[in-house]
Amino acid sequence: MKIDLTDTNAGKINKALVEGRRAIGTPAVGMVLTLVIVTDEENAYDALKAAGDASREHPSRTLVVIRRVSRTLRDRTSSRLDAEVRVGTDAGTGETVVLRLYGEVCDHAQSVVLPLLLPDAPVVVWWPVNGPLDPARDPLGALAQRRVTDTYACEDPLRELAARAEAYSPGDTDLAWTRITPWRSMLAAALDQVTCEVRSVEVEGEEFNPSCELLAMWLADRLDVPVKRSLSAGPGLTAVRLDTTCGPIKLDRADGRLATLSIQGQPERAVALKRRETAELIAEELRRLDPDDTYASALRYGVSRLGGSAAADRQDSPAAAQDTESAEEPVAVATPEEEAVKAPARRAAAKTARKSPNRKAAAK
């Protein structure tokens, strides 16, 4: 069931939700959380589909906030709120409200969302694209216990990771981190089977994929060994190689679906390690609403400390080295004793220049 509301407010939206539940015969509210999706019109469909699939596991009230661009000055100074209320089969197992904000109300989205939150229920805010650098300080992020971003959708993932590390607050998380959960589980299980020490690690994956950097930082932070980040054609994360005192351990996934686990002295094993859809990632994040300390520790390790990373390459480039040398080159400064020795010669030269008929020649 869908109810369209034009130029409305939060009170009318709440009334439409109650009327919709009564019309389909479910007046009771059986939802466990409020999921706020902040996106644009282009990505709204995919985000709504992923949230609807995740609602089968986590029944929730989904609020989609779409800020519409105003083309004229009159539209920018006026405010309007349009809403689309979905209940029943059109909203999965919960309720969905699509909020389209026009004009000045775009800068006050939190005042529109706040009256629509489920009472006494946790709030999760998800930015599928264009997430803020500091989600906890965002007006909508301040309403939530959990804030989900995706650095994979950013133009410069490495810069985003560095900014998120500086601005991290308990409750922040990233779908790029969620994507490597099966890899972390498999590597931890592989290390539990041996009693060797890890000497170095190499993480291989496609360029501009923050999941590769996050996995490398997690391994470096947990194992306290050098970790090298190398590039491949993908898709996504392709291999992890661990050099141990008992021989190499390798987890290789070349096709994005099936991986091969190789441990020295043991037969090779095929492991299901497929790339997961966004709905599965969101469902995983909604299972836990407490701060992820492991993610925070790995994020704060820093991309620049990885060997072979793009950030490290930029820092080690000849241009960067030249800039550093130029900035650190010492400037010669004369001592007071040297100034005292040079002073009589300077006074004599100045006196000669004043007496000379051609001062320019004397100066030369």
For 147-162, give the DSSP string. Answer: EEE-GGGSS-HHHHHH
d(CA 71, CA 279): 34
Confidence class for position 341, pLDDT limits 50, 70, 90:
very low
CA torsion sign for 146, 281, 262, 220 is: negative
Q: What is the DSSP string of 311-329?
A: HHHHHTSHHHHHHHHHHHP
Q: Got the DSSP string for 47-65?
A: HHHHHHHHTTTS-EEEEEE
- Its pTM surpasses 0.85: no
Which of the four pLDDT bands, split at 50, 70 and 90, describes residue 226? very high
The burial class, CB within 10 Å (0-12 / 13-18 / 19+), for 20 is buried
Model confidence over 290-311: pLDDT tens digits? Answer: 999 999 999 999 888 887 655 4
Q: How far is Cα 36 from Cα 300, in angstroms, rounded to an integer?
A: 27
Among residues 292, 284, 198, 290, the alpha carbon closest in space to that of 245 is found at: 198
Q: For 156-165, 278-287, 320-329, 346-355, which range has the lowest pLDDT when averaged over its residues?
A: 320-329
Number of neighbours of residue 200 by Cβ within 10 angstroms: 14
Task: Determine which helix (DSSP H) or strand (DSSP E) holds 300, and give its type and residue range.
Answer: helix 293-301
Q: What mean pLDDT, rounded, does the chain reach? A: 82
Mean pLDDT, residues 258-284: 91
